[in-house]
Chain A
Amino acid sequence: MNTIAETRTKSLLYLENVSVSFDGFKAINSLSFVVEPGELRAIIGPNGAGKTTMMDIITGKTRPDSGTVLFEDSIDLTKKDEADIAQLGIGRKFQKPTVFESHTVWDNLELALNRDRGVFGTLFYRLTPEDKARIEEILETVRLTHRAEEYAANLSHGQKQWLEIGMLLAQEPKLLLVDEPVAGMTDAETAETAILLREIAKTRSVVVVEHDMGFIRDLGVKVTCLAEGAVLAEGSIDFVSSDPKVIENYLGR
């Protein structure tokens, strides 16, 4: 009891016994999962293991049938919707890069900035020097300074992924959920993304879902393996990848 209470109070994100089913199919099955402040965590698992559904639950897109989902030990995320949760400081990157294609890179970041998001706040918003500096800083971080005035539609696939990560940074989240950030990237881009994520994780918690084992090795962090909606194994990459259940369910052979 005591230890559970302790992990809970220390945690940034705390999931306990979460279940959700779609028309009888159990997508998540009493899943428990904890992320500590400042932690960088990787999640692996076969297709249909419930990785994306778990993110849906954390970000308020899907309501769990049962279980506890707490943020900073006190905020019940199951009672909030996407916008609330985003404003609390949880950012999410989708599997498919989703940026505003008919806006410029700069506008994309400006929209993502953590400022008044109300109707009138945005109607009368004017770009302040601080905001300008912040956007330029992020552009630098995601290596898009030279393309700031281009339409996002014209970016390459990898650049879109980075722009989306940049938008998450502009949101100034405490927790970043990143779904398959290196899908469709070249090896060089993948390596750079690993560096980028490690850099980001210095100031906030990051949860990365990825299939690319090389990339996860590059990250060198604690790994959680999901299968059939529950945690199969947790630990270092070497520990997890030598677990017989993980080999059978996911890695194969």
Chain B
Amino acid sequence: MLIRIISLIFIILSFAAPAFAQSGTDPKPLIDALAKADFAEAETLIGQIAATGDPKVVPALDAFSEGDLYFRKSDSAVFIGKTGDAGLELIDPLTGASAGPTSKSAVTKIRVNNNLRRVIDAAKGGLTLMSPDRGVRLAAADAVLASPSPENLALVEAALAKETDSEVKARMQEARAVSVLSSDRSVDEKRDAIKTIKSLGGRNALGILNSVSSSIDPSLKSDLDSAIGSIEAEQQLWDMVQNVWYGLSLGSVLLLAAIGLAITFGVMGIINMAHGEMVMLGAYSTFMVQEVIRTHAPGLFDWSLAIALPVAFLVTGAVGFVIERCVIRFLYGRPLETLLATWGVSLILQQTIRSIFGPTNQEVGNPSWMSGSFPVGGMTITWNRMWILVFSLTIFFTLLVVMKKSAYGLNMRAVTQNRRMASSMGIRTPWVDALTFALGSGIAGIAGVALSQIDNVSPNLGQSYIIDSFMVVVFGGVGNLWGTLVGALSLGVLNKFLEPSVGAVLGKILVLVLIILFIQKRPRGLFALKGRAVEA
């Protein structure tokens, strides 16, 4: 992907700046020679083509790598082939001028393999090291770094001599070091190269060092081993960071699922077994929004989640409101019975969705900004996980502010702490109850929007979250939002740290067992209130 972008940039650039083409040997006969070459010969030829230092050869090399290079059976002339409407269009490999269409039977594809592709990438890296564009040079140095070859060494060193930008220079130094190791330079130079690579770190560096460890001069063995050792240690650290990240990512999912429950269960004391179904409804709302967008306004697709958020909040909030008014309000003070009634509600909601949409998974698409990933140090972070973490924390803190600062939040806390007193002070308690339950449900709904991005959207979606959500709230301490945050994140991290050693399922079982034991030790969770009042 990255390579392709770079080469694209470079193709444009090489046509725009022909002045930089160095006058070496003419690459044309070398390219034509590819027609009859076997893989080994082709490898040599690529080296020679690159050695011309002529950037115009880059499109030909790209085409070769992509398998788009052909030779004409009649005269063995080599062309780049583009599949068009009228069969194959032939393009001159160096000038880019069209040589007209031809039938597929008149030409033969020049075969390529992965080894050749690697060689091509490295060769191209060398070629573009002199580009006037800083970004291209940087990318070229990266390309050499990723696939070092002795052939590139001279090119890198030449480029290094001219380089002025310190960052590019540093990268080129590393590229040079990598190339030095696989060349036949002196032991001292190689020793320096090992040092440079060691400071580079990462999985690539480790790979390079490991690949030369068998062929290296014995006198360098100890340097090499210590370099490998230190990179491995660093790598372990990154693995740990990666685990923490995965854990936080899982934790953010747990937080999303549990946060609505922290209100309905934690604050209101309602055992809402239909909570998972609220999440599920939120996910289906997202699906519906995307369906409408697909048919009526495809251009808005990237905004689908932003549109789905209020929709899901309103839909699930309304469902929650109805449930509170019709069922739960008759059951205050009988927590075990709300558990049963809401379980009944959850069955009905599931079956309703199943009757309307069918039991199979629904396709919910990722907007472009949710897909892909970016590297951080020695690990990769996917955008969807990143956004979900950001999103869950945003919801959490918004909710915290609403509860602590707004008049509604004050009313709500008043009602949950002393219903009678609140009502005699003129707060309309039934209204506050219904709104609070609707709020908890609505938040579950917007959690569903986020979870639709990483989970299968099916009628059973909610069931997979309900037990985890309860565990998080109970573990964190009922009635304490901070407890829910800490509970969710620490359970997520714990889970991901157990996983590598015991496997995913056993890890999950262990976490459950640990929570069960933990509740024995602290029946009121991590952040429990103490005192006489809570025991009454």
| Chains A and B share a contact (CB less than 8 Å) | yes
Q: Which of A20-28, A195-203, A238-246 contacts B (4 or more CB under 8 A)?
A: A20-28
CA distance A115 to B535 in the complex (A): 29
> Which residues of the partner chain A approach B530 to less than 8 Å between Cβ atoms?
22-23
Cβ B531 vs Cβ A25 within 8 A: yes
**B480 smallest CB distance to A (angstroms):** 12
B532 interface hit (Cβ, 8 Å):
yes
Measured between beta carbons, the chain B residues less than 8 angstroms from A52 are 532
Decide: A23 and B532 in contact? CB cutoff 8 A.
no
Q: CB of A81 within 8 A of chain B?
A: no
B331 close to A (CB within 8 Å) = no
**A35 → B minimal CB distance (Å):** 22
Report B3 CB to chain A, min CB distance, Å.
60
Alpha-carbon distance A23/B530, docked complex (angstroms): 6
Q: Judge if A56 is at the interface, Cβ distance under 8 Å.
A: yes
Judged by a CB distance under 8 angstroms, whether A53 is at the interface is yes
Chain A, 55-82, contact with B by CB distance < 8 Å: what is the 0/1 string? 0100001100000000000000000000
The answer to whether B529 touches A27 (Cβ under 8 A) is no
Interface string of B501-536 (1 = CB under 8 A from A): 000000000000000000000000000011110010
| Pair A56/B531 contact, Cβ less than 8 Å | no
Query: Closest residue of chain B to A56, judged by CB?
Result: B532
Q: How far is the CB of A49 from chain B (nearest CB, A)?
A: 13
- Among B529, B530, B532, chain A packs the most CB atoms within 10 A around the CB of B532
- B residues 342-360 touching A (CB-CB < 8 Å): none
Provide the residues of chain A in CB contact with B532, threshold 8 Å: 22, 27, 52-53, 56, 62
Neighbouring A residues of B529 by C-beta, 8 Å? 23
Instruction: Identify the closest chain A residue to B528 (Cβ).
Output: A23
A53 to B535, CA, bound (A): 12
Docked CA distance A27–B533 (Å): 12
Instruction: Mark interface residues in A25-61 (1 if CB within 8 Å of B CB, else 0).
Output: 1010000000000000000000000001100100001
Q: Which residue of B lies closest to A62 (CB)?
A: B532
Neighbouring B residues of A53 by C-beta, 8 Å? 532
A225 CB, min distance to chain B CBs, angstroms = 20
With contacts defined as CB atoms under 8 Å apart, how many contacts are there between chain A and chain B in the complex? 14
Query: Residues of B contacting A61 with CB < 8 Å?
Result: 535
Residues in A with CB closer than 8 Å to B531 are 22-23, 25, 27
CB distance from B506 to the nearest CB of A (A): 37
Q: Which among A22, A52, A53 has the highest number of chain B CB atoms within 10 Å?
A: A22
Q: Which chain B residue lies CB-closest to A53?
A: B532
Which residues of chain B (419-458) have a CB below 8 Å from chain A? Answer: none
Q: In the assembly, what is the distance between CA of A56 and CA of B530, in Å?
A: 14
Cβ distance B70 to chain A, nearest Cβ, rounded Å: 80
- Docked complex Cα distance between A62 and B532 (Å): 9
**Minimum Cβ distance to chain B for residue A156 (Å):** 23
**B522 to A: closest C-beta gap in Å:** 15
Nearest residue (CB) in B for A52 is B532
Cβ–Cβ < 8 Å partners of B535 in chain A:
61
| A22 proximity list for chain B (CB < 8 A) | 530-532
Contacts of A25 in B (CB 8 A): 531
User: In the complex, A22→B530 CA distance in Å?
Assistant: 6
Question: Whole-angstrom distance from the CB of B526 to the nearest CB of chain A?
Answer: 14
A22–B535 CA distance with the chains assembled, in angstroms: 12
Cα A62 to Cα B530 in complex, Å, equals 11
| Residues in B neighbouring A56, C-beta threshold 8 A | 532
- How many whole Å from B528's CB to the nearest CB in chain A? 10
Interface residues of B in 35-91 (CB under 8 A from A): none
Smallest CB separation, B14 vs chain A (Å): 72
Measured CB to CB, the closest approach of chain A to B416, in angstroms, equals: 19
CA–CA, A61 to B535, complex, Å? 10
- Distance (Å) between the CB of A177 and the closest chain B CB? 16
How far is the CB of A158 from the nearest CB of chain B, in Å?
A: 23
Closest to B534 in A: A22
Residues of B within 8 A of A23 (CB): 529-531
**Across the two chains, which residue of chain A brings its CB closest to B535?**
A61
Q: From residue A53, how far is it (CB to closest CB) to chain B in Å?
A: 6
Q: CA–CA, A23 to B477, complex, Å?
A: 15
Q: Which residue of A lies closest to B536 (CB)?
A: A96
User: Closest residue of chain A to B533, judged by CB?
Assistant: A22
Q: How far is the CA of A61 from the CA of B532 in the complex (A)?
A: 10
A22 to B529, CA, bound (A): 9
Q: What's the minimum C-beta distance from B532 to chain A, rounded to whole angstroms?
A: 6
Collect the chain B residues with CB atoms within 8 Å of residue A27's CB.
531-532
- A56-B534 Cα distance, complex, nearest whole Å: 14
Contact with B along A201-234 (1 / 0, CB 8 A): 0000000000000000000000000000000000
- Name the distance in Å between B65's Cβ and chain A's nearest Cβ: 68
Q: From residue B535, how far is it (CB to closest CB) to chain A in Å?
A: 8
CB distance from A57 to the nearest CB of B (A): 11
Least Cβ distance of B334 to chain A in Å? Answer: 16
A179 to chain B, nearest CB (A): 12
Query: In the assembled complex, how far is the CB of residue A95 from the closest CB belonging to chain B, in whole angstroms?
Result: 10
- The closest CB in chain B to the CB of A96 belongs to B536
Q: For residue B531, which residue of chain A has the nearest CB?
A: A22
Within 8 A of B (CB), among A78-106: none
A113 to B41, CA, bound (A): 103
Query: Within the assembled complex, what's the spacing in Å between the Cα atoms of A62 and B534?
Result: 13
**Docked CA distance A106–B294 (Å):** 74
Q: In whole angstroms, what is the CA distance A65 to B535 when docked? A: 18
Residues 372-412 of B contacting A (Cβ, < 8 Å): none
Q: How far is the CA of A226 from the CA of B218 in the complex (A)?
A: 86
CB distance from B171 to the nearest CB of A (A): 56
In Å, the complex CA distance between A25 and B531 comes to 9
Q: How far is the CB of A206 from chain B (nearest CB, A)?
A: 23
How long is the Cα–Cα vector from A52 to B535 in the complex, in angstroms? 13
A71 to B530, CA, bound (A): 27
**What separation, in Å, do the CA atoms of A25 and B530 have in the docked complex?**
10
B250-280: CB near A (< 8 Å → 1, else 0) gives: 0000000000000000000000000000000
CA distance A74 to B91 in the complex (A): 105
**Least CB distance, A47 to chain B, in whole angstroms:** 12
Q: In the bound complex, what is the Cα–Cα distance between A52 and B532 (angstroms)?
A: 9
Instruction: Give Cα A23–Cα B532 distance, bound, in whole angstroms.
Output: 11
A55 to chain B, nearest CB (A): 11
A241 CB, min distance to chain B CBs, angstroms? 27
Q: A25-B531, A52-B532, A62-B532 are in contact. List 4 more A-B contacts (CB 8 A).
A: A22-B532, A23-B531, A56-B532, A61-B535
Q: Which 3 A-B pairs have the closest CB atoms?
A: A22-B531, A22-B530, A23-B530
A-B contact pairs, 14 of them (CB 8 A): A22-B530, A22-B531, A22-B532, A23-B529, A23-B530, A23-B531, A25-B531, A27-B531, A27-B532, A52-B532, A53-B532, A56-B532, A61-B535, A62-B532
Measured CB to CB, the residues of A under 8 A from B are 22-23, 25, 27, 52-53, 56, 61-62
